[in-house]
């Protein structure tokens, strides 16, 4: 069970360099078990997009904005053919040319992103919907260096990572973190009149306090977990135990309500 306010909030770089990379390498069973609860393996093309939220990872279940899935390479692709993107009610259509996902450390390309839109009906008379999907593929590590020198990239094909979402009426970026802030830098949440509380990028050992009302992203701490400094992610989600005692959490909310009553008196 996930405490209120906790969300899976990764950047595109983290999706490719941490989650997709570790899925492809498959070297750590404990990490794979955690990732399965965040990003399950699913043939997203076997379902209509509005059916996909129910299959999201149990640690992301109920997220109203976006859903993440790993998808295996289709047999048609393995034989050199085109991927099948047809569902029972419509089809996914790629828009534009693929773009690159870059490393913030070296500014080199680490993967490729393709954006698709779902159409109801059958081509060429399909009706465009608000459902969209970003499909990420990781670049071969040795290829990434050669691509930065003008070579042609070679992508890993065993798995891709898909982010499914519904087009919002509000203009806002996928990566909503403040620019110029490195991962791991502590930023205390600040609230200004009329504005939403900003995210707090804290050390994993201090971010998950019961009375913290900041948004916490598991993706914020992907690099720390990857380098072995902490098993934070695994320790909180490898079993079905809650993050903390729920009586303590209820006390936190009760205490906050009492403070608000005193302030309004």
> How many domains, in total, are found in the chain?
1
What's the confidence (pLDDT) of residue 70?
A: 98
What's the confidence (pLDDT) of residue 154?
A: 86
What's the confidence (pLDDT) of residue 174?
A: 57
Q: Which residue has the tokens 């970026």?
A: 173
Cα–Cα nearest to 237, from 24, 13, 31: 31
115 and 133 Cβ atoms separated by less than 8 Å: yes
110 and 15 Cβ atoms separated by less than 8 Å: no
34 inside domain: yes
Q: Which class for 110: exposed (0-12), middle (13-18), buried (19 or more C-beta within 10 A)?
A: buried
Structural domain range at position 134: 6-169+215-264
CA dist 264 → 3, 119, 151, 197, 257 (Å): 27, 51, 64, 20, 11
181 inside domain: no
46 inside domain: yes
What's the confidence (pLDDT) of residue 32?
A: 95
163 inside domain: yes
129 inside domain: yes
β-strand partners of 157 = none
130 inside domain: yes
What's the confidence (pLDDT) of residue 151?
A: 60
190 inside domain: no
This prediction has a pTM of 0.64
In this structure, what CATH number is given to the domain that contains residue 10?
A: 2.170.150.80
Residues with Cβ within 8 Å of 172's Cβ and at least 6 positions away in sequence, in order, are none
Residue-by-residue pLDDT tens, the chain, 265 positions: 667 777 888 999 999 999 999 999 999 999 999 999 999 999 999 999 999 999 999 888 778 889 999 999 888 776 777 888 999 999 999 999 999 999 999 889 999 999 999 999 999 999 999 999 999 999 987 655 555 555 667 899 999 999 999 987 655 555 555 444 444 443 333 334 444 333 333 333 333 333 333 333 333 343 334 433 334 344 444 444 444 444 444 444 444 444 444 445 5
176 inside domain: no
């Amino acid at each position: 069970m996930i405490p209120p306010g906790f969300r899976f909030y990764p950047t595109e770089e983290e999706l490719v360099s941490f989650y997709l990379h570790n899925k492809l390498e498959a070297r750590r069973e404990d990490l794979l078990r955690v990732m399965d609860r965040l990003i399950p393996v699913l043939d997203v093309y076997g379902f209509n997009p509005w059916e996909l939220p129910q299959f999201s990872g149990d640690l992301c279940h109920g997220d109203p904005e976006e859903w993440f899935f790993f998808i295996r390479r289709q047999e048609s692709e393995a034989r050199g053919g085109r991927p099948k993107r047809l569902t029972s009610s419509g089809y996914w259509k790629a828009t534009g040319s693929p773009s690159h996902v870059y490393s913030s450390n070296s500014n080199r390309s680490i993967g490729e992103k393709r954006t698709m839109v779902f159409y109801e009906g059958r081509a060429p008379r399909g009706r465009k919907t608000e459902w969209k999907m970003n499909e990420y593929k990781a670049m071969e590590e040795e290829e990434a260096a050669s691509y930065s020198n003008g070579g042609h990239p070679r992508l890993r094909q065993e798995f891709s990572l898909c982010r499914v979402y519904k087009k919002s009426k509000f203009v806002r970026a996928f990566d909503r973190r403040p620019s110029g802030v490195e991962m791991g830098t502590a930023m205390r949440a600040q609230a200004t009149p009329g504005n939403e509380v900003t995210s707090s990028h804290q050390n994993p050992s201090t971010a998950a306090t019961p009375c913290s009302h900041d948004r916490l992203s598991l993706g914020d701490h992907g690099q720390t977990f990857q380098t072995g400094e902490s098993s934070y992610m695994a320790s909180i989600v490898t079993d079905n135990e809650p993050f903390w005692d729920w009586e303590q959490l209820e006390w936190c909310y009760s205490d906050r309500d009492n403070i608000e009553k005193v302030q309004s008196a």
